[in-house]
Amino acid sequence: MINRRKEAIQGILYVLPSFVLILTFAVIPILMSGFFSFTQYNVMQPPQWIGLDNYIRMTKDPYVKASLVNTVIFTIGTVPVQTFLSLVIAAVLAEMFRGHFGGFVKSALFVPVIASAILVGTLWSFLLNPRGIVNLILQALNLPAVNWLGGKATAMFSVCLVSVWKNVGYFLVIYYAGIMDIPRSQYEAAKVDGASPIQCFFRITLPSLKSVTYLVVTLGTIWSFQVFDLVYNMTGGGPGTATQTLVLTIYNAAFKEYSMGYASAVAMLMFLFVLLINAIQKIFFREKEV
């Protein structure tokens, strides 16, 4: 009995430091975000309860509307491309190049992953400069130069492009690990039955990677809701509101206008979307298991 109690005290003592931190920096803050979203709060004066006013204001805010539209465009512009590319490259590497060459390709594609989004954004805004390398290459190919970050449609396209460039290596590694988990015997049996590599890909690889694909798609979609560093550094949300994002809207409302209450309401909206995506993923997973 005494031993039991001693064990419990020890266990609690080991967990305590993390518990204090999780409580202070995760649990209490989310409750506070929820509370602030119903208040008007400029940090100087105590928060004032205003009910649903922030949420009503949000429905009329052009920045919020632009952010949501842009998030959808960004998701469509990045998730399918990066999922497809990383899957195909991983499958090719696992099927044909398991040696040093494949290792080199994987290592090279992973380099953009370790660089910060700020660094990547800085580098690419030079490459995409009206007189930068990308336009020089286009001119050498007798194609017209493009004002990449200056035009509304091209700015969004550029941000998507850079994001895909940065993230393919990350998803590639996840897919590659997933393919390595598929038992080799399945492929060998298929080969004996005369299946081509392409048939193997569609009949064995792809179905076995279903859960990995859910992960890659969900993660990519959630990331689309969290874009900040890249647009902050490359376009500042512009031109106009062409690359405005939710986090940029939260940041500007909170730290430029000191509307903490309104910014919290936008943050709660973002939270709602992330929860929704998680829930959709869970439903898909359950369906699969049944």
Under the binding rule (CB under 8 A), the answer on residue 38 touching another protein is: no
**Which of 56-64, 66-74, 143-151, 167-175 is the region at the interface with another protein (rule: CB under 8 A)?**
167-175
Residue 48, strand partner residues: 40
**Which of 62-70, 150-158, 188-196, 257-265 is the region at the interface with another protein (rule: CB under 8 A)?**
257-265
Long-range contacts of the stretch 270-274 (C-beta < 8 A, 24+): 270/225, 270/226, 270/246, 271/30, 271/33, 273/225, 274/222, 274/225
Under the binding rule (CB under 8 A), the answer on residue 50 touching another protein is: no
Under the binding rule (CB under 8 A), the answer on residue 229 touching another protein is: yes
Q: Given the DSSP bridges, would you call strands 48-49 and 39-40 parallel, antiparallel or unpaired? A: antiparallel
Other residues' Cβ atoms within 10 Å of the Cβ of residue 84: 12
- Tell the smallest beta-carbon distance from residue 263 to another protein (Å): 6
Least Cα distance to 52 among 253, 252, 265 occurs for 265
C-alpha distances (whole Å) from 70 to each of 21, 51, 58, 237 are 34, 28, 16, 10
Under the binding rule (CB under 8 A), the answer on residue 25 touching another protein is: yes
**Which of 54-62, 65-73, 76-84, 119-127 is the region at the interface with another protein (rule: CB under 8 A)?**
119-127
Under the binding rule (CB under 8 A), the answer on residue 124 touching another protein is: yes
Stretch 141-160: interaction string toward another protein, x if CB under 8 A: --------------------
**Which of 51-59, 74-82, 172-180, 186-194 is the region at the interface with another protein (rule: CB under 8 A)?**
172-180
Least Cα distance to 51 among 247, 259, 265 occurs for 265
Q: Given candidates 157, 201, 271, 284, which one binds another protein under the rule CB under 8 A?
A: 271
